[in-house]
Each structure stands twice: as C-alpha cells, then as structure tokens.
Structure 1
C-alpha cells in the first residue's frame, strides 16, 4: 500500500462515507498484522484538518503505539515524496549491519517467509533483497514456486529476486493458473510500469481532482494493488497491449467501482460521459468493470 502525503490536502474534506471506509481498512490492516500499511493510512488520515479532534487524538495515539511496538514496520513505508534511492541506500546499510558471515540473519528472514504473517513476509522479502549470500535467492525462488500465495506477496518476491540480480523466467501458481514471467521485467516502482498503464491512473486524477480531490489517493493505492494481482496474467497482457481508448475504459471502470464503494452510489451515465465512453466502447468497459469487481470482492470484501 502506498499513501501519498501532500501539504495541499489541508484544503480537503474527508467525507463521512470515505472516513468510514478508511476506518474499516485500518481495522483490517491491524487484524492481519499489516502494521506498515496501518501506519501509512494513519499518517494520511491525520493530514485532514476537518477530522473530529477526539478521533484525531485516537489515531495519533494508535500511530505512536505502532511506532513503539513495531519499529520494523517503518522500513516497509515508502512515502512518495522521499528519494527512493536514498531510502534504498539506508535500508541496504541497515541490512549490511545486521548480516553476519554465519548466515543467521538471512536464515531468520527465510524462516519468516514460511511462518510469518503477510506483513512479516513483506518485511522479510524487502530485507532479503539486499542480502548477498549464496543460496538466498534460490530459497526465495523455491518458496515462490512452492504453492499459491497472495498476489501481493508474490509480486514482492519477484521484486526482491530482481534486486538480488536474478534473471530469466520463473513459473509459479497464481490466481488458479500457472504463470511464466521474466524476473528482470518486474517493475520496482509505479514509474516502471508501461506508460499506457500509468496513464490509466493519471486519467482518474484528471477527472476527480476538482469534484473529489481526495479520491485519487485511494484510487492510486487500489490501482497498485490491482497491478500486483494482475501481473503476469492475461489481464496484465491485455493492459500492456491496450490501445489509446482503453485508458478511459479502465480509468472509468476503476472510478465507478471505487466511487460506489466509498460513497455508496455512482451515477454511471454521468461518469461514462465525463470519460468520453461512447456506445462502441461499452462492451469493453463492462469487461474491465467485471475484472475489477472480481479483484475488489476477492481482496477487499464488503464488511457488511
């Protein structure tokens, strides 16, 4: 999960329905021990000046508690305004200080892959990516190919393998099928994805920046989670090969689903008109909408 911090948010209002959804997400993160995601979400929410002071005090206390109890979660936080290279260098230095010749630290991280929570597995992979020891990357490959895992953690494993310097194809089970990907092609950050795919989320920002300026923050987070879910599958292949008109199709389909989830309703005809979706594009739009609905229901179920 990536939450963007931005001083301009001081002029925004956190709508009640949106606040409720974010609180449900926060609860889910805490229940599944995804503490770095919880920290990022709390940091994002505390930027809104219109939040009830008592609630803001609770959020601040929870954030401080997470910082104290789970300081390692800060290494998984990647705020967009920081220099990624500088952050990577700091993490590399931290790992080198922890790593010993006997391989104890690497073994601890590898064991965490098998026994840890999703959050712990993410932290383990992000640290393993900077360990230069014989056999570590092979163990990560074996773990990835062993059995189906959450798409988010599979994508993290591919990123770690790429950072370790691994090359070539790897096959592993994902979303009910066997997929084959080239490790060195794995995007390490949002900017590494093809321009057409990046344009899809930019389009959401263009449409929503006036009427719903806080909407794009959640849209970007969801889009990155969806790309991890789709990566290596036929869905991702279709996104890569998409023609120019598909930018509006996918952007509007994502916008419609998130608007309904956040605000409880969506004026579909008005939304399609805003994105310039004409009759000849509506079949393609329905297919994109169905794919996104399947993703959202599978990984962000409705708590009601």
Structure 2
C-alpha cells in the first residue's frame, strides 16, 4: 500500500498537505509495523512521511530519529528485498527446516553456506547460520566452531553462531574471543529466543514497557530490540553474569538506564531526573545506575561503530 501511495503522490509532493487524520492513520500503521517487527515497511513509511513539507518540526525530528535508529540497529532494512515475509514463527521454522533438508542432498549447498559464513557480509553470515543450524552433519558443526573461535567477531554474529550450534545438537563448553577477552559458554545453555532468558532479565525490558506505554507507545519496540542486541553483546561476559545475579532492585536500574540511553539516541535529549523519578531510582541506587548506564553507553558506541 505504501509503495502505491508513494508512486501516486511523489511527483507533486511539495503541493500536498498531510492532514491530521491522515497523519494519525500513518502513525497507527507505523506502530503496527514496529509491533510486528516489519522494519523494512516501517523504514519505507518513515521515508514517505518525511517528504511532506507541512509537518511540524518536532514530528519531523522524531521521524528522522526513528529512521536513523532503524538504519543503525537493523542494517538489513537498507535492503528491502532481503526481509522474509511475515509468517508465524513456528511455521516459518518448519518451512525453513524442510527447505534445508531438500537442499542438503546437494553437497554444493552446504559448501556455499560455509563460504558465506567465512566471506559474506554480516547479513549473509546471519542468513548462513540460520540455515546451517538445520543441517544435521557433524562436520558442519565443527566448521562453525572453528569459525567462532578463529578470531574476534561482532557479538551479534557470535550469538547467532551459538544458537546455530545449539540447533545442531552440539553441547559442551566452547571458548572464543569476545569484547577484548576470552569467554567460555555452554552451548546447550544458549537462549534460542527472548523467552528463554531468565525471568529477571526479561523483567528489565518489561519495566520499560510499563513506564513508556502511555506517553511513548512506540518506544518499547525499539527498546526491546536494543535490549536483545545488548544481551547478545553481554552473553558469556562478566556483564551477563552480573545480570544473572542481580537483585530485584536492579530491574529498575537497568530498565531506566536503557530508557535514558535510547531517549538520548532517538531524540537527542533526555530528562534524566524525570526518568530516575519514574523508575523509583533513589540515592542509594545512583552508583549502580551510573555503572549500568556506562555499560549500555559502551555497547551502543561499539555497536554503532561496527555497523558504520
């Protein structure tokens, strides 16, 4: 639908007005795209909306910030044709499993995936790992292990490799370089989805949703995806160990630190005092909050740098 509207209106965009009801409709569509993780569609809609000249500057700034965030956190949105169609997650996995099973009769298929893992772009490596995870061949698991321990790589792709190894049925400890150190994790303990992380860690992102759902309903979708990327960054390190052993009060500490970081990145400004007050961060928690904020700040800085 978006592409059709853009085709009709784009030639005379300077003469068009985005009426309030129309703007509200597109805002609702944007929310739906974010809720269902249709980030390519969200990006296209934002690009379309930013062409209207009569929109309030504050709204334009917000849309521009959201578009920049999508480019930064989800580089695959820059390639619209690369996004898979929206399907039920379990159905999608089953279809992929059947597809891989048929393809593995061709020895060249597995070799092609392994070559993409070694030489492809970040997006190609992710795609290769997602497919390799469904190949039940001992030598494939060994190749992925060798690739993982070979040298430092982006934390996102390292976590995807661990998930692929777990899908293959691999188990035991594996040691590999991450964030400037050597880490060791048990393959079978790797969470395959957000719901497999410990409850305390899941509560941290739920808390962001509780605080932002009224004033900024779209905010939690960005926060949730950023939190998942952060967990991939932290997994296997002392940061993740601290998250696992965190006391109940740490939920508010980490949630508010994430909220502050994202607020600043998305909108260029943050009312830190208001955020601390909303999350109930008292003086005795300030030092803990500053540490969490610094960790998240370092994550965002590294993540943005490695994708640029």
TM-score of the two chains, using structure 1 as the length reference: 0.79
Q: Select the residue among 165, 176, 192 that pairs with 2:169.
A: 165
Unmatched 5+ stretches in structure 2: 1-32, 43-55
2:278 equivalent in structure 1: 274
Q: Select the residue among 36, 55, 74 that pairs with 1:5.
A: 36
Contact 1:128-1:160 at 8 Å conserved across structures: yes
Residues 51-80 of structure 1, C-alpha deviations (whole Å, 9 max, x = no match): xxxxxxxxxxxxxxx33xx4xx41xx7x6x
Shift of 1:3: 4.9
Contact 1:29-1:38 at 8 Å conserved across structures: no
1:49 equivalent in structure 2: none
Shift of 1:216: 0.6
Give, in whole Å, the separation in 2 of the partners of 1:98 and 1:25.
36
The 3-state SS of whatever aligns with 2:138 is coil
2:25 equivalent in structure 1: none
Q: How does 1:232-271 map to 2 (within 5 A)?
A: 232-271=236-275
1:212 matched to 2:216? yes
- Taking a change above 3 Å as real, the CA distance of residues 294 and 220 of structure 1, as seen in their structure-2 partners, is same
- Taking a change above 3 Å as real, the CA distance of residues 267 and 204 of structure 1, as seen in their structure-2 partners, is same
The 3-state SS of whatever aligns with 1:300 is helix
Shift of 1:27: 4.6
- Taking a change above 3 Å as real, the CA distance of residues 29 and 273 of structure 1, as seen in their structure-2 partners, is closer
Give, in whole Å, the separation in 1 of the partners of 2:198 and 2:91.
24
The 3-state SS of whatever aligns with 1:91 is helix
- Taking a change above 3 Å as real, the CA distance of residues 248 and 29 of structure 1, as seen in their structure-2 partners, is closer
Residues 256-289 of structure 1, C-alpha deviations (whole Å, 9 max, x = no match): 0111111111111111011000000000000000
Give, in whole Å, the separation in 1 of the partners of 2:277 and 2:288.
15
Q: Select the residue among 58, 81, 91 that pairs with 2:96.
A: 91
The 3-state SS of whatever aligns with 1:135 is helix
Q: Select the residue among 37, 62, 69 that pairs with 1:18.
A: 62
Structure 1 stretches of 4+ with a deviation exceeding 6 A read none
Give, in whole Å, the separation in 1 of the partners of 2:253 and 2:288.
7
Residues 156-189 of structure 1, C-alpha deviations (whole Å, 9 max, x = no match): 0000000000000000000000000000000000
Shift of 1:38: 4.3
Question: Which is greater in Rg?
Answer: 2
Contact 1:3-1:221 at 8 Å conserved across structures: no
Q: Select the residue among 129, 144, 148 that pairs with 1:144.
A: 148
Shift of 1:16: 2.9
The 3-state SS of whatever aligns with 2:35 is coil
Contact 1:172-1:180 at 8 Å conserved across structures: yes
Q: For structure 1, which segment, 167-176 or 86-95, has the greater mean C-alpha deviation from structure 2 after superposition?
A: 86-95
Give, in whole Å, the separation in 1 of the partners of 2:65 and 2:193.
26
Residues 78-100 of structure 1, C-alpha deviations (whole Å, 9 max, x = no match): x6xx5432221111011112212
Q: How does 1:61-210 map to 2 (within 5 A)?
A: 66-67=80-81, 70=82, 73-74=83-84, 83-100=88-105, 103-210=107-214
TM-score of the two chains, using structure 2 as the length reference: 0.78
Give, in whole Å, the separation in 2 of the partners of 1:170 and 1:97.
30
Give, in whole Å, the separation in 2 of the partners of 1:219 and 1:28.
14
- Taking a change above 3 Å as real, the CA distance of residues 18 and 277 of structure 1, as seen in their structure-2 partners, is same
> Greater helix percent: which structure?
2
Contact 1:17-1:262 at 8 Å conserved across structures: no
